[in-house]
Amino acid sequence: MSEQAVQEVALRVALERAIARQSDGYDQRARQYAGQLVGTKLDKTQIRGLETLASTTDKVSDITDWLKLRVGRDSGRDRWAKEGIGRDLVNELEGLRNDAKKIAQGLGQGDPDLERQVHLRLCREFLKHLAAHFEYLKAERER
């Protein structure tokens, strides 16, 4: 294995570790959102839809656009627009950019797109926690 290849692997490992560490730190906040979301008329299909979108898209903007559209269309204010939950979530996800910036800077990598890609990964992690908590809390509530 060449030295460059070894460096690439080391960087990848460091990146995965940093993302995993950050992800663990999101668990409680995601649980709070899930707690609010179970108080809306949203069901698990919609939350899963958001999680699936996040895990398949290559753009952070696709995730926030999706949420913005749902907030905009919720004229009954009993789903994504209820008590500002959708708006808070948009801000939360956009705010993860700061964490992504720190991780990218910490790795001292020259890739100009790294911060954006880390941001996307962090959004996926956050929404993964949120979807899991939502399903759990929803099931508890329906029991």
Partner 1 sequence: MSELEYLLKRKQSIAARSDRWQAEAARFADRHRDLLPKRITNAQLYGLGNVVRSARRYADIERFIRHQAEKAERAGRLDVQGYWNDLKDALGKLRGEAQALLKTLPLPVETDNRQALDALHRELAGLYVQHLIAHSLYQTAGAKEN
Which residues of this chain interact with partner 1, rule CB under 8 A? 58-61, 64-66, 68-69, 71-74, 77, 81, 84, 87, 90, 113, 116
Residue closer to partner 1, measured from CB, 68 or 128: 68
The CA distance from 89 to 84, in Å, is 9
Tokens (6 digits) for 47: 């939350």
Residue closer to partner 1, measured from CB, 19 or 90: 90
Task: Label residue 111 left, alpha or beta by phi (over 0 means left) and psi (-120 to 50 means alpha).
Answer: beta
| Shortest distance in whole angstroms from residue 31 CB to partner 1 | 25
| Shortest distance in whole angstroms from residue 89 CB to partner 1 | 12
Q: Cα 33 to the chain's mean position, in Å?
A: 12
The CA distance from 54 to 48, in Å, is 10
Residue closer to partner 1, measured from CB, 60 or 130: 60
